[in-house]
Amino acid sequence: MSSDTFAKSIFGPVLPILRVQSADEAIQFINEREKPLTLYVFSKSQKVIDRFMQETSSGSMCANDTLVHLSVDTLPFGGVGPSGMGRYHGKYSFDTFSNKKAVLVRNFNPIGEAFGRKRYPPLNDSKLAYFRQLLAKRSSPFGGLCSHMPYLIVFMLGIASAFALRYVLNAFGKEI
């Protein structure tokens, strides 16, 4: 297929339709071209839809419908590569057009300088080991706690409920 119609993004009243014999042929056709802004897939088979999700790349994908995905403002919309950059709609628009600037201002506190002396020459094996440890990817010291936080909260609410019930019953003269 050498037609320019299938090579460029179309924002107009023309809808080109290409008949293919299989999902494999359609996926190959898509992957041989630049990434589309949106990929529309029509199929009653969830396996076919899943294949298009996994084996192609596009800004977004809409299965068994057209344009409805644009009306859902919680879905990010935008392209990949030549079809666009960034995501738009709701919070995604704010994030796309915001500049999250990281700023670090180092002061010359004597305590900080005492810990930071290893940064300065002359370098040796001990200082290199310090740098490796400093730059190594590490998990949060609260990682385990965070994953169990919902259970801890429910447990604490249970304890608080028991104390509240005991207080109410004692206030009305009921013995536990």
Looking up residue 40, the CATH number of its domain turns out to be: 3.40.309.10
Rounded to whole angstroms, how far apart are CA atoms 151 and 144? Answer: 12
In a domain, 113, yes or no: no
In a domain, 62, yes or no: yes
Does 82 lie in the same domain as 166? no
- b/e burial code for range 62-96 (CB count within 10 A of at least 16 → b): bbeeeeebeeeeeebbbbeeebeeebbbeebbeee
What is the total count of domains within the chain? 2
Range of the domain at 169: 142-176
Strands (E), 24-85: 38-41, 60-63
pLDDT tens for the chain, residues 1 to 176: 556 666 666 666 677 788 899 999 999 999 998 888 888 899 999 999 999 999 999 888 999 988 777 777 778 777 777 667 667 667 777 777 776 767 777 777 888 788 778 878 888 998 888 888 888 877 766 666 677 788 888 899 999 999 999 888 888 876 65
Does 23 lie in the same domain as 87? yes
State the pTM of this model: 0.50
